[in-house]
Structures are given as C-alpha cells and as structure tokens.
C-alpha cells in the first residue's frame, strides 16, 4: 500500500519526527482557512500518489490566505501527472537552509533494509545517483541485530554534514529506521529532510510504502484518518471489506464467488480460458455461514452489467449446505434475474445440492462443467 504524503506524515509524526504544522483541504475555502490558522504563508501541496509534484506544478508556496485559496482553486479537480487532485495538504512554510535526502528501503536483492542518506536532497535520488553518485551514503543494518549506533555515526561522518546537524540527524535516522520496522514498511523516504534556518530538522515530504501482508497493517490503518482507511477502493470493495471479505472488481460480465484465494484464482483462470470474462470476484474465505454467503451474493450482484454468477465452493470449514441456503436466502429477498451456476463439493455436499435442487438451481458437478454452463447461459442473457 502506497500512502499519500499526508498519510505517511502521520506515521512520521507517530514516530516523533518533526513535520510542519498543517491540515488537509478539500476545497479552496478550506485551504484558505488553514492558511489563516497557520499565520498566512503556507505551502499548498497536491496529494497524489506520484513523485516530482514540485516540478509538475503541484506544490505552491503562497504568502497569504487569499493566495492559498487561489492556488487551491487552480489545483483541485485538475490532473497532475495523470492523477486527479482532490486533496491538498496545506502546511506552514519553513525557511530552508539545506535539503537532505533520507530513506529506509527494503532491498530485495540483499533481503534486508538499506538506509540511504544524501546531503543533496530536494531532487530525486535517481538524479543524484546520476550526477553525484559520491554524494549518496548507505548502510545496511542486519534486521535481526538492528541498527547499530556506529552505523548511524558512519553514515553522518561520511557525508560531512555540519557539526550542528549531527545530533538531530542521528535521532531522525534512528527514528525513521524504527518506524520502518514498526510499521512493516518497504519504503520510508523523507525528501527533503530540511534543515531550517532555525537549525531544526523537519520532514517536508513523505513517501511511504507498507507491506500489505505486514502484521502492522492494522496499526497503520488505525493511524490513518477514518475517512481515508478505505484508500481508493470502490464502494463494493469497501462493503466487502467491512464484513471481512476480499472483493475485486474486474472488467467482464460474470460474477465469481469462491472460497479461498487459490480456488478463486483457478476459477477465474478456467472461466477465462473457456472464453468467459469475470466481472469481479469475491473470496468467501473459510467457514462462511449462510448469512455471510447471502451478503456476498448481494455484493457481487450489485455490480452493473452482469450476465451471470458462478459460485465455486470447495467445502472444508465452509459447509456446502450453508452456502446453498445463503444463496437461496439472497435470491428470495432480492429479485435477481440472472443465471446462477453453482458447483459445490466437500463438506455437506449432498445437503447443499438438495437445497439447490429444491429451488431449481441445478448444481454443476465439476469446475469445468460449471464454467461451460455459466458461459453458455450468460450468452443467452446478452
């Protein structure tokens, strides 16, 4: 998961790294009032998931609240590097003395974290790597032993930074590394890490990527503001996540429900191979009861333009009879005029099939048969 600047900033703050005061605005008026609260001068920053916003015109330094409003009006709703701007982080402007670059990144080849520091911050690190490779300093802490003090000292000494920044820089490196570990990040980048004219080190930008499989994911979600937890998910994805299910939107016209990621993936593959096009898929997970199945069916069929639904269940923890009754329940409460093909096998298979037959939903015997059937019947709908 890639976080937007203002989201990554929340993690930096949580790690006790200084960031400039500021708030997110969704309208020019909000940007204006935030600038007022900040005392007039401010930086208005487009929140889009791409780098190089400054050069592309997405970062505006303004000198009074009216200018903040004007800049915001010029940004909101427009596209920056292909991304529509809907939010602006409006922060106090700081006077920069020097811009540093600092990041902790997961190096897949080395199978561990690398800390990268450069006294030439503010520009893309790739650019520094091209022009001044000798200005990039790295250390590779052993993730089991942790970041050793000598490593932090080494990186700072080699970079020849001024005496006054040694202590604050030492602390920021330590805090950033700890945050990287704590939040299960694969990248935490501060560029620029600015030394202000007041001698303070402030994180003026953030780029954070969190490993989706990290155990810290829930903690990260907790830290993000309520309205943002859903990221860029669709309404149906959100609904599914709320009841603990994984749902993914695709471009075709046949809805898919299965249980277990592997089974769902192979169902998609078999259907596609036979010329069918999945519209979406929902993974029921293990042990779903009839109520969950019923909700799952509602979510999958809420997508517009469906020509059929294919349900493929391998009963283990999940009982086939529960799935069948959930489906029947959903079909009885909501009028869904779509062909539905169900393949059930495993735990309570017979009971499940009996329920289906009672309601005139003939079960398919195999995945192949089911896939052929739904493709055939969905073509009749079209």
| Binding partner selected for residue 122 from ligand GDP, Mn ion, none, CB under the kind-specific 5 to 8 Å limit | ligand GDP
* CA distances to 116, 336, 356 from 329, in Å: 57, 12, 11
Region from 7-15, 91-99, 172-180, 214-222 binding ligand GDP, contact rule CB under 6 A: 91-99
Site stretch for ligand GDP (CB under 6 A), options 32-40, 54-62, 128-136, 179-187: 54-62
| 205 lies in the binding site for Mn ion (CB under 5 A) | yes
* Closest C-alpha to 48, from 76, 73, 23: 76
Contact pick of 54, 74, 168, 231 for ligand GDP (by CB under 6 A) = 54
Determine if 49 is a binding residue for ligand GDP (CB under 6 A).
no
Residues 222, 55 contacting (CB under 8 angstroms): no
Stretch that binds Mn ion, among 113-121, 201-209, 267-275, 316-324 (CB under 5 A): 201-209
The residues in 241-280 that bind ligand GDP, with binding defined as CB under 6 A, are none
Q: Write down the least CB distance from residue 101 to Mn ion, Å.
A: 9
Q: CA–CA separation, 319 vs 261, rounded Å?
A: 17
94 binds, among ligand GDP, Mn ion, none (CB under 5 to 8 A by kind): ligand GDP
């195999």: which residue's tokens? 366
Q: Coil, helix or strand for 228?
A: helix
In this complex, which beta carbon is closest to ligand GDP, that of residue 58 or of residue 260?
Answer: 58
The mark string for 121-150 relative to ligand GDP (x by CB under 6 A, - otherwise) is -x----------------------------
Q: From the list 18, 47, 118, 191, which residue makes contact with Mn ion (rule: CB under 5 A)? A: 191
Active site residue 164: no
Window contacting ligand GDP (CB under 6 A); options: 30-38, 88-96, 100-108, 251-259 = 88-96
| Catalytic member of 30, 189, 322, 349 | 189
Q: Name which of 201, 181, 195, 53 is nearest 115 in CA terms.
A: 181
Q: Are 276 and 254 in contact (CB under 8 A)?
A: yes
By rule CB under 6 A, what string of x and - marks binding of each residue 8-47 to ligand GDP? Answer: ------------x----------------------x-x--
Per rule CB under 6 A, is residue 93 in the interface with ligand GDP?
Answer: yes
**DSSP category for residue 286:** S
Q: How far apart are CA 382 and CA 275, in angstroms?
A: 14
Q: Identify whether 189 is a catalytic site residue.
A: yes
Quickly count helices (H) and strands (E) in the chain.
14, 18
Q: Is 280 in the site for Mn ion (CB under 5 A)?
A: no
- Should residue 52 be labelled a site residue for ligand GDP when binding is judged by CB under 6 A? yes
Dist CA 115 CA 141 (whole Å): 8
CB distance 39 to 45 below 8 Å: no
- Whole-angstrom Cα distance, residue 262 to residue 246? 13
The tokens for 145 are 């032993």
CA distances (Å), origin 297, targets 67, 287, 308: 50, 16, 12
- Phi, psi torsion values for 33, nearest 5 degrees: -70, -30
The CA distance from 273 to 153, in Å, is: 57
Please state the closest distance from residue 200 (CB atom) to ligand GDP, in A: 12
The residues of the shown chain that bind ligand GDP, judged by CB under 6 A, are 20, 43, 45, 51-54, 59, 61, 93-94, 96, 99, 122, 191-192, 204-205
The residues of the shown chain that bind Mn ion, judged by CB under 5 A, are 191, 205
């Amino acid at each position: 998961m890639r976080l937007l600047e203002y989201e990554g900033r929340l993690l930096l703050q949580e790690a006790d790294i200084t960031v400039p005061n500021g708030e997110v605005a969704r309208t020019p008026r909000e940007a204006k009032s935030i600038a007022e609260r900040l005392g007039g001068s401010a930086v208005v920053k487009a929140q889009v998931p791409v780098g190089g916003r400054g050069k592309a015109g997405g970062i505006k330094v303004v000198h009074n609240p009216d200018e903040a409003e004007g800049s915001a009006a010029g940004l909101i709703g427009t596209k920056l590097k292909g991304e529509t701007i809907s939010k602006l982080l409006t922060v106090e402007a700081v006077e920069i003395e020097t811009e540093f670059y600092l990041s902790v990144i997961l190096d897949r080849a080395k199978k561990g974290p690398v800390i990268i520091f450069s006294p030439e911050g503010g520009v893309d690190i790739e650019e520094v790597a091209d022009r001044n490779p000798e200005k990039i300093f790295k250390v590779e802490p052993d993730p089991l032993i942790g970041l050793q003090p000598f490593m932090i000292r080494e990186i700072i000494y080699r970079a020849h930074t001024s005496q006054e920044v040694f202590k604050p820089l030492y602390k920021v490196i330590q805090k950033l590394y700890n945050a990287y570990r704590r939040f299960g990040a694969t990248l935490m980048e501060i560029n620029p890490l600015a030394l202000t004219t007041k001698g303070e080190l402030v994180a003026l930008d953030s780029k954070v990527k969190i490993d989706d499989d990290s155990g810290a994911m829930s903690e990260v979600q907790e830290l993000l503001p309520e309205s943002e937890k859903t990221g860029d998910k669709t309404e149906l994805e959100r609904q599914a996540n709320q009841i603990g299910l994984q749902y993914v939107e695709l471009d075709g016209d046949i809805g898919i429900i299965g249980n277990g990621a592997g089974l769902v993936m192979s169902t998609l593959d078999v259907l596609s191979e036979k010329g069918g096009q999945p519209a979406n898929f929902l993974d029921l997970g293990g042990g779903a009861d009839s109520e969950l199945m019923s909700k799952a069916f509602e979510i999958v069929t809420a997508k517009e333009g469906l020509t059929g639904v294919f349900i493929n269940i391998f009963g283990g923890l999940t009982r086939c009879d529960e799935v069948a009754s959930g489906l029947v329940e959903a079909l009885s409460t909501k009028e869904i005029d779509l062909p539905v093909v169900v393949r059930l096998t495993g735990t309570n298979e017979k009971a499940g099939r009996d329920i289906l037959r009672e309601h005139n939903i003939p079960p398919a015997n195999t995945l192949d048969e089911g896939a052929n059937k739904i493709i055939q019947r969905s073509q009749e709908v079209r």
